[in-house]
Every structure is written in C-alpha cells, then in structure tokens.
Amino acid sequence: MKTKQLFASLLLMAYGLGTAQADYTLNLMEGVTSISKDVYGLHMLVLWVCVFIGIVVFGAMFYSIYFHRKSRGYQASNFHESTKVEILWTIIPTVILILLAIPATKVMLEMDDVQDSEMTIKVTGWQWKWEYEYLDSGIRFFSSLDEASNKARQLNSGIDPRTVPNYLLNVDKPLVVPINTKIRFLFTAADVIHSWWVPDLGWKKDTIPGFINEAWTSVEKAGTYRGQCTELCGKDHGFMPIVVIAMEKADYAAWVAEQKSAAVEAASAAEKDWTQEDLIAQGEKVYANNCASCHMADGAGIAGTFPAVSNSPVVLGDMNAQVELMLNGKGMMPAFGQMLDPVDFAAVATFIRNGLGNAVGDSIQPAAIKSLQAAIPEVVYDDDDE
C-alpha cells in the first residue's frame, strides 16, 4: 500500500512540474501577465538547477555507498583535508548564486517599474472587505464576500458549502480591468495590515495603514481571476476574497459608462424621501451582508465578544448616538460611514431600530446620512508616505 501511495505521489509531482494546471498540481501557476510568466520562468530555472545539484550530490553519495561498501572489501581511506576541493566547493556554489541573482534581480526591478502606466487603481483594505477607487474615472466601490457564501458560512446555516459555487472565493462587486493595459495599483489600509493577492497576476502586496505600496499589472487574457487576503487581519480574515474580471477594452468602456450612470442614480436616490417600509426592506439585506457575521442573523450577538442589537440600549436609545457609532466605529466595529452609501446606511440604521425584535418606530433619511458623511475627514497621503 505504501509503495502504491509513493508511486501515485511521484506521478502527481511529475504532473505538477509540467505546464498543465490541475486541481492537484504541486507547482506554481503560470498566470496571465508578463510578470507572472517571468516569475514562473525564474522559479522553474531555480528548481531545475536545484534538481541538477541534487542529482549530482546524491548520485555521488549513492555511488560511493554502493560501490565502496564493506562487503566488497573496501577499506575507508584516512585523510585530513584537501584545500583544492574546499576551494572548489566554495567557488562553484558562489558562481551558481551569482548567475541566479542576475535574472532574479531583473524580475524584481521589472515588478516595481510602474512607469508609463495607462490607468491607476487605489486599493484599500478594510475589515473585512476591499475598497477600489479608479483614480482616472472617479469610480469607487466596496467589494465584499458574496451573499451565497456569506449565508453558508453562518453558524447553523444548514447550507452545505460544497453546494455554493466558488465558496468563499466570490464577491458582490468584482474589480473590473481592461486587458492589455498597464495598470498601476496603489495599496493602503484603513485599519490593520491586509495583503492583496491574486495568484494569476504573479505577485501580492501588503496594504498598510498610513503607507502606500505600488505594483502594476497588464492582463493578457480576458477572464475571471480569484484571490484572497493573505495577511491575518482579524476575525473574518478568511472571508475577504478578491475577484478580478479582465475584459476586452470595448467591454470595459461599456462597464465604466454603466458604473457612472449607476453613480448618478445612487446620488439621486440619496436625495429623495424613502418610506419607512422601503428603508426596512433594503436595510434587512444590508444587515445580512455587513452586520450579521458579528451580531448574528437574529441580532443576538455573541456573548462576551459581539454585543446584541436586539433590545440594545444603544439601539433603543437616541437615534443620533446610534448613527454616530455606526459612522465612526468603535473597538472591533468598523466605521461604516465610509463603507456604505447614504441609502444603505439609512436603511440598515432604520432596520436595526425596527427589526430584530426592536420596535422603536423612527427612521432616518439618506439625505441626513449624506450630510453626516460629508463631514467625515478624508485621509490624504503625502508623497512622502509612498
């Protein structure tokens, strides 16, 4: 049985060292960018150099052990050292390292070269979602775990995660980029350190509060590429996926126009008066996607960790105090003032006060939330922070 397992492992390893990608491949993926292919090529070069060295070293060992064994009458030689051999086995590894350092340095310099970029996207890590801002077109949105995965991951959900497509690797709003376009990324964080990683792009970057990291990419093939946060960033670290959709340039231009149109509609929606019933209906969806993971779907919270919102003194008390807490956050609770648009913010605030066992009876309009959000100071980074 052990022999069969070893043979199967060797087959998988041999398959993984090839260029084909499979569910059980043991090798790096080649990716869909020039950088990712360069990284893959460098990896394979170093791997085969190591394989060659291993074959030479272990081959010499096994040859010596087998052909100079005691049963054949060989006697061990007595010698102290060989200066020539010691110099040789010092020079050869040094030369190998220098030769490998040349292509490695070239790839590293190429990865950091953001010059001549055609567009810039700012990525901000939040607990536990990503904010994307297209600095050239004014598009801005948050990307969170998709609703199906979010429901399945809840305690006692009764949903088999295996029935959810791309479980924990899907989002509500993906990052959309055009293909064959050099895109500069700026990375920062609003709370703790996160790390933005999409394997197909060939690199990952930490997002650090008060600091800006840079990277670039140019996707060669249209498609959907998935990744995750790879820095332990808190309770919901495992529920912070990344989805990048690469489109043909014409399709991307249509998407940009659609997003700008949606932004105009959202601004218009924030100015109108909403009925309490409509706010509660919308707020229930917002609560499920943003609040239920901590405060639970029924608002009961988790004793000693996350306070209940059902029959909470804060919720049953002054509306302004509750809204201020939601705007600015406190402790483990993030500041939703910059995460939610005025409509969603007003809706979830109203839902919490009139759902989940609460019946305060009041509501707040999106226009009021918009005014409060306008007063929140925006963090601006100087060039020295880069």
Distance CA 208, CA 135 (A): 19
User: Shortest CA distance to 206 belongs to which of 230, 234, 176, 174?
Assistant: 230
Q: Which two tokens stand for residue 320?
A: 């302004």
Q: Please, is 244 exposed, middle or buried when counting C-beta atoms within 10 Å of its C-beta (0-12, 13-18, 19+)? A: buried
Which CATH architecture fits 12-111?
Orthogonal Bundle (1.10)
φ/ψ of 69, rounded to 5, equals: -75, 160
DSSP 162: G
What pLDDT is attached to residue 265?
Answer: 87
Q: What does 76-92 look like in DSSP terms, one character per residue?
A: -------HHHHHHHHHH
DSSP 28: P
Domain positions in the chain are 12-111, 119-263, 270-374
Burial of 154-193, coded b for 16+ CB within 10 Å and e otherwise, reads eeeeeeeeeebeebbbbbbebbbbbbeeebbbbbbbbbbe
Residue 76 Cα to chain centre, angstroms: 58
Alpha helices in the chain, H assignment, sequence order: 2-16, 34-67, 83-111, 147-153, 249-269, 276-290, 292-295, 313-316, 319-328, 342-354, 366-374
Distance CA 13, CA 24 (A): 9
What's the maximum distance between 2 C-alpha atoms anywhere in the chain? 99
What pLDDT is attached to residue 11?
Answer: 61
Statement: 119-263 belongs to CATH 2.60.40.1220: no
First to last CA, the chain: 57
Q: Which two tokens stand for residue 269?
A: 């929606």
For residue 300, CA distances in Å to 174, 279, 348, 362 come to 31, 22, 16, 21
Q: Which two tokens stand for residue 101?
A: 């350092």
Tens-digit pLDDT profile for the chain (386 aa)? 555 555 555 565 555 544 444 455 678 888 999 999 999 999 999 999 999 999 999 999 999 888 888 888 787 777 777 888 889 889 999 999 999 999 999 999 999 999 999 999 999 999 889 999 999 999 999 999 998 998 888 878 889 999 999 999 999 999 999 999 999 999 999 989 999 999 999 999 999 999 999 999 999 999 999 999 999 988 889 999 999 999 999 999 999 999 999 888 888 888 889 999 989 999 898 888 888 878 888 888 888 778 888 888 888 888 888 888 888 888 778 888 888 888 988 889 999 999 888 888 888 898 888 888 887 766 544 444 44
Contact 145, 238 (CB under 8 A): no
What pLDDT is attached to residue 18?
Answer: 45
For residue 10, CA distances in Å to 49, 52, 54 come to 19, 17, 16
What pLDDT is attached to residue 381?
Answer: 46
Distance CA 257, CA 138 (A): 11
Statement: 270-374 belongs to CATH 1.10.10.10: no
DSSP 145: B
Distance CA 120, CA 198 (A): 17
301: left (phi over 0), alpha (psi -120 to 50) or beta: left
Contact 266, 341 (CB under 8 A): yes
